[in-house]
Amino acid sequence: MDIVKAILVAAFVIVCILLVLLVLIQNEDSNGMGSAFGGGQSTAFGAHGASVLTKTTGVLVALFFVITIGIALINAKFGTKKAAEELAGSQTAESTATETAEDSDWDTLLGDGAEASEAAEEKAEAAVSAE
């Protein structure tokens, strides 16, 4: 399923780049999708035929939505299973680490740290009493 997802993502990137370039190429006057909604000086519902750029833009927009929905469905269906497996694996590693820490001697783990913090407290008290 990772291969299908990779192909869809690659196609998605290509469609996005082509769509951006195609929109940038279109003329502002009467060409493009905006003319269908009153952007140009055409009569209602297009007195002129759609140009190649307009048709291509429509096809790329349709592909954009189809690929987006496909990627979303793949992530929803298989992404949750993968995330659940990873979560289960990390919980197992955490429980192993917890058991190891509980079995160890806490005095040896914290011995140097406790002595250092006591020495720091004594220096702070000496500095306060010196003022």
DSSP labels, 32-81: SGGGGGTSSS--TT-SSPPPHHHHHHHHHHHHHHHHHHHHHHHIIIIIHH
CA distance 84 to 25: 45
With cut-offs at 50, 70 and 90, classify the pLDDT of residue 102.
low
The rounded distance, in Å, linking the Cα atoms of 91 and 119 is 38
Inside any domain, residue 131: no
The pTM assigned to this predicted structure is 0.49
- Is residue 122 in a domain? no
Lookup result for tokens 């502002």: 28
* Residue-level pLDDT at 120: 67
64 in a structural domain: yes
Domain membership flag for residue 118: no
Find the domain containing 82 and state its range: 2-105
**The predicted structure's pLDDT at residue 8:** 94
The answer to whether residue 116 sits within a structural domain is no
Question: What is the per-residue pLDDT across 16-66, written as a single tens digit (0 to 9) for each?
Answer: 999 999 989 887 665 555 555 555 554 545 556 568 888 999 999 999 999
Residue 20 falls inside a structural domain: yes
Please tell me the total count of domains within the chain. 1
